[in-house]
Structure 1
Amino acid sequence: MSAAAAGAAAAVAGALTCRAARAALRSRTPGGAGRWTRTNHRGEPVSLLAGPAVAAATAVGGAAGALLGGRSGTGRGAPGPLALALTTATVTAGALGVVDDLSEDPATRTKGLRGHLGALARGRLTTGGAKVLGIGAGGLAAAALVVLPSVPAYRRGRPGTLADVLVSGALVAAAANLVNLLDLRPGRALKASAVAATSLLGSGSGAGAVRPAAVGLLGVVVAALPADLDERDMLGDGGANALGAALGTLVVAGTGPRTRVAVLGALVALTLASERVSFTRVIEATPVLRELDAWGRRPPAPSGR
């Protein structure tokens, strides 16, 4: 199977899984629709059911791309370990994100990475804190699955290799967190994920099984975007964390150690900046970002209403 055919099959698998999972959850909603309903930035009801649907589809589309792409040639990102790493990172991040979405009262929940880490320092484990720890562990496992097979056996216990695994695991977790931070306006997190996945399609970073897996994620974005833009659905922590973790895993598989350090540094810098600066204000003040962010979205409500 060619790389193009593998990517197309993965995209279809991801899109169909997203639509099927969303329809199944709509027809039989666990705990009732009210448990999954939140109020968006307009003060209107929006459903979180897209979260688990996108998480499941991301795991299917990404893993399918990795497995099918492994038959199309060689390159970074061995198919078996990459598929397992994507599944591990995505399922862990998605499941913990959904738990966080449903378990804490939105009116009183601890917010932000600083808030969750502060609660942990005081000896209180919030569901968000459990998510931070769990996604970190899942990212570390995914990183080990991707990095270690490419390292000769005699070097796997060396400090440099262990440091690479730690950096790569932190990258996966940081990517999961950053995509979640962008899920504040309709379509924003999905558009950012599409840009990130597209960046993995170039030569070098898109080699081997990575490129078809990235195309699989694009299929998920295409399937989920209409309802998100129309403000019927939102990703929530479940969907956003899953997409981010998958993208982070693909970055680890498609780049070398030095690039991974640089990407982690950028992700950490953006995360720290989010604690002090509103991403929405920055986007609205930047013409190109403002236009991209608003593309396909419902127009703002008339003033005075």
Structure 2
Amino acid sequence: MMISIIFLSVSFMISKFIMPMFFHLLYDTESIKDNYRGESIPVGLGLIFIPVITINTICLILWRTGDNALDLMFLIGCFAMGLAGLLDDLLGNRDVTGLKGHLKMMLKLKLTTGGFKAAFGGLVAFTISIIISKDPINIVMNTLIIAFFTNFINLLDLRPGRALKGFLISGVALVLNPIYEIFRYLLFGLMGATLAYLPYDLKAKSMMGDVGSNILGVSLGIVCASSDFHVRVVVLGFLVGIHIYTEKYSLTQTIQKVKILRYIDKIGR
């Protein structure tokens, strides 16, 4: 547990140090969009998660002897989905929304950035699942968990701090279950970076963008894929259910109607 706390603390400090540099980078490159209140703020500050994960991976490689496949897989998975999210942040539009909408456009042979992100994310999830799974059933289950977890955090990222709170709550729930120790360290490190970034997001000073939500989501999916079978069954059931629900109903309106969810959503704003 002490090592996990060290990863969290060091990642927090690293993120605090590099945050202003990335903040100015986004302003200088005019990576600015309107938030839900119509205010122009930097988008894509979730880029800070990439160097943090990379530094954590380097530390694990130097510290541990033996096979480094899992930590490198975690790094590559986060980098790949972060890249897909960054593409959506820089080039995407919101004319087509929802997973179903992007899939319909793909069936018409029209590729949206959201459609690319979904298709590429599915391939990334499948590749990781082949590496981490032992049989076809687990490959399918883990592919769905990684893909749906990635999109789940993206679904939450509609109000300041909501996706970050969803990530932190999910992360705490996962580390309380049996998971690969390497993933535990990396997830704690990412949680430290998230805590450092959280005040920026809560005060609507910046948006982490899809690059951030994708990295947080895929990391949860990868970690969850290493948990016990019954845990994955429950998680997959929840993820499928929430995706079906959000195709018909507004998640924001639902949160406003449920007292405990509304309370959590407003914490820190």
Normalising by the residue count of structure 1, what TM-score does the alignment of the two structures yield?
Answer: 0.80
Partner of 1:271: 243
Partner of 2:163: 189
Choose from 218, 234, 246 the match for 2:207: 234
The one-letter code of the counterpart of 1:214 is: L
Give the number of aligned pairs.
Answer: 269
Per the TM alignment, residue 79 of structure 1 is displaced from its structure 2 partner at its CA by 7.2
CA RMSD of superposed structures (Å): 2.5
* In 1, Cα distance between equivalents of 2:8 and 2:118: 29
Partner of 1:11: 8
* In 2, Cα distance between equivalents of 1:19 and 1:138: 30
Choose from 68, 77, 83 the match for 1:89: 77
The one-letter code of the counterpart of 1:37 is: I
Structure 2 counterparts to residues 1-305 of structure 1, below 5 A: 4-29=1-26, 32-34=28-30, 36-58=31-53, 60-61=55-56, 63=57, 80-106=68-94, 109-147=95-133, 151=134, 161-202=135-176, 204-206=177-179, 208-256=181-229, 258-297=230-269
Q: Which runs of 5+ in 2 are unaligned?
A: none
The one-letter code of the counterpart of 1:266 is: F
1:263-297 Cα distance to aligned partner (Å, 9 max, x none):
22321211121111111111111111111110001
Query: Structure 1 pair 145/20, CA: closer, same or farther in 2 (3 Å)?
Result: farther
Structure 2 SS opposite 1:114: helix
1:119-159 Cα distance to aligned partner (Å, 9 max, x none):
00111111111111111111122222322xxx4xxxxxxxx
Per the TM alignment, residue 116 of structure 1 is displaced from its structure 2 partner at its CA by 0.6
* In 2, Cα distance between equivalents of 1:214 and 1:69: 17
Normalising by the residue count of structure 2, what TM-score does the alignment of the two structures yield?
Answer: 0.89
Structure 2 SS opposite 1:296: coil
**Greater helix proportion:** 2
**Contact 2:161–2:265 (CA under 8 A) maintained in structure 1:** yes
**Contact 2:147–2:218 (CA under 8 A) maintained in structure 1:** yes
Q: Which moved more, 1:161-170 or 1:272-281?
A: 161-170
Per the TM alignment, residue 237 of structure 1 is displaced from its structure 2 partner at its CA by 1.0
Structure 2 SS opposite 1:254: coil
Q: Which runs of 5+ in 1 are unaligned?
A: 72-77, 152-160, 298-305
Structure 1 SS opposite 2:33: strand
